[in-house]
Each structure stands twice: as structure tokens, then as C-alpha cells.
Amino acid sequence: MRGRPLSSAVVSAVPPTRPAALEIRPARPQDVELVFSLIVELARYERAPDQVNGTPDLLREALFGEHPSAEAVIAELDGEPVGFALFHGTFSTWECRPGLWLEDLYVPPRHRRAGVGGALLARVAAIAVERGCTRLQWAALEWNAPALDFYAKLGARRLDEWVLHRLDGEALRQVAAGASALDVSS
């Protein structure tokens, strides 16, 4: 969902712990290498560096190509990049309204506890509200207690009754080709 263009936003309601020079701005094409390096750093943090199969070129196409499929915002502190959030559109059939899926939000450890993560999430939430979205959703690894605690403090509701599923690789190709033995009776 590519709604209205993202605008830069200097966070105005600055909590005491948030540096005054923190800016959240839309990613630009020249940020692709930075965002990709943060994605790789996030994968290392999440103990899955070998699962990064994308490339900066694929990311550039996803963010800035002819048909963008995702958007990103960058957090800068005194002009230095200190984190990012990457998101894309979703749709709720029950509400018949759009939503946003927060694919990644990452702040390197050396910049944590300065309000950067909260500012990134607040900006993505503001984008959701500006676009008439009814929800902002994301997933977190169950062992990532700092992230889970952070989300709980924000008032985010855990959806423990939902189980996330994924088709990828050969399984995705088989289902797409109809080659999988799908049992419709179960």
C-alpha cells in the first residue's frame, strides 16, 4: 500500500528520555545500503544471519522500484542513522479496512534506551492512522524478552490464539503449481 508520501517528522512530544535532535524520516534511495546493513545486523541479533537471502538491489526494488512493496523510515540522532523500521500494507477482511504490517524495527544496542525504538514505532503508528488503517501488527521472537516487554509497555496486545504460518521455497512452488497433495477434507 503506497499511500501519501511519507513526510519527515521531528518528534514534537519529546519524552524526557528522548534526545531533542532525534528525527524520523522516510528512507531515500541512497539509504538502501544502510538499511540492508541494519537488516543483516538484526539477523545476527536474532541468531539467523544465514537466513538473509536478499540483496541491496532487491531491497532497492522493493522500496523504490516501479511497484514498491514496502516502505521504510530511518531514525537519525544528530544526523547519524540510529535505527529503522520497514513496513507494508495489509487488509482486514473482518473490518474491510487497511492495516500496516511492521516487518522489522531495529535499533542497534549502542543506541537503545534513548527513545529511538519508541519514536520509530510512533511514526509507523502515525502513518497507519494518517492512512485510515485500523491496525498495526507485527511478530516478535518469543525469546526476545526486551522487545516483548517494550511492546507490552506500549499497550500492544499479544495474539497468542493465532499461529503464524509460512510457505516458502519448494513448498511454496509446489502449492503454487498444484503439485502438493492437498487434503481438503481435513
Residue 71 lies in a domain: yes
Query: How big is the chain, counted in residues?
Result: 186
List the one residue out of 113, 131, 100 whose CA is nearest residue 3: 131
Residue 36 pLDDT > 80, yes or no? yes
pLDDT in tens, 38-63: 999 999 999 999 999 999 999 999 99
Residue 169 pLDDT > 60, yes or no? yes
Residue 135 lies in a domain: yes
Residue 27 lies in a domain: yes
pTM of the model: 0.84
Residue 185 lies in a domain: no
In whole angstroms, what separates CA 75 from the centre of its chain?
Answer: 13
Dihedral-angle region of residue 130 (phi above 0 means left; psi in -120 to 50 means alpha; beta otherwise): alpha
CATH of the domain at 127: 3.40.630.30
Which residue in this structure is represented by grid cell 534511495? 29
Domain count, the chain: 1
pLDDT in tens, 81-136: 999 999 999 999 999 999 999 999 999 999 998 999 999 999 999 999 999 999 99
pLDDT for the residue numbered 18 = 52
Least confident of 19-23, 82-86, 134-138, 153-157: 19-23
Q: Which among 58, 103, 151, 185 is annotated as catalytic? A: 151
Instruction: Specify whether 106 is catalytic.
Output: no
pLDDT for the residue numbered 2 = 45
Residue 182 lies in a domain: no
Residue 24 lies in a domain: yes
Residue 98 lies in a domain: yes
Residue 47 lies in a domain: yes
Distance CA 180, CA 178 (A): 6
Q: Which domain holds residue 45?
A: 9-177
pLDDT for the residue numbered 1 = 43
